[in-house]
Amino acid sequence: MRRRGFTLLEAVLSLAVLGSLMLVIFAVFSVGVAGFRVGTSRLQLQSDLRRVLAPLRKDLENSSFQSMSSTALEIPSLPARRDGLCLNGLRDALSDSSYAAGSGLPQWDCFVLYFATQDLPEGRLVRLLLRDTTPSVLSLPRSLTAADLSLANPDLIGREIRVLSDLILDFRVRLDPSNQMIQLGLKLRSKAGKSRVEVLEIETIIDPANTSPRL
């Protein structure tokens, strides 16, 4: 028996079905890729947030509220803020010589400076150690200006520079003298594809353990 070939109509229908199937496969693939990018972006934001909060919270909790100073910098084009925060610190918190004999009070010997750079659209959150020319058990604040928020700060100790994140959209600091606490606001932003943007935002309050005297 002689085999009949495809008619033109059958060929067109077959191509249409095949084309539709390819479009469905491509759409499913695109959705999968977009979902993967979103998931990766969110994981990156969460990882950066942990990397920022771990040293920041530790430094603040180990310091004294009386030593803290801050400066606010507005970024009008976003809008956002990229603040700076400075506090007493210890270069070696595990050394006995870092504490006064008898009282056991911390012998503050440096300043810890955190600030967010003004890079656009996302800045970097940086941690620096600065010289303290008058080490003391007293909680003495360092006057802080916008000019101090620089990687070229002349009081920088060695190469004590840590970039904790390069996804910082907003970094806000508010000192609360009545409660002797620090309020922090962080907003991180990351691209999850060509047009989608993921934002992670957190606010937290920290109580410095070495605040003395207490109100």
Whole-angstrom Cα distance, residue 86 to residue 112?
6
Its pTM stands at 0.80
pLDDT confidence of residue 198 = 86
Q: What is the pLDDT along the chain (215 residues), one digit of tens a residue?
A: 555 555 766 667 777 777 787 787 777 766 666 665 666 777 889 999 999 999 999 999 999 999 999 998 888 888 899 999 999 999 988 898 888 888 888 999 999 999 999 998 899 999 999 998 788 878 888 988 888 999 989 999 988 899 999 999 999 999 999 999 999 999 999 876 566 788 999 999 999 998 887 87
Concatenating the DSSP letter of every residue in 28-59 gives HHHHHHHHHHHHHHHHHHHHHHHHHHHHHHHH
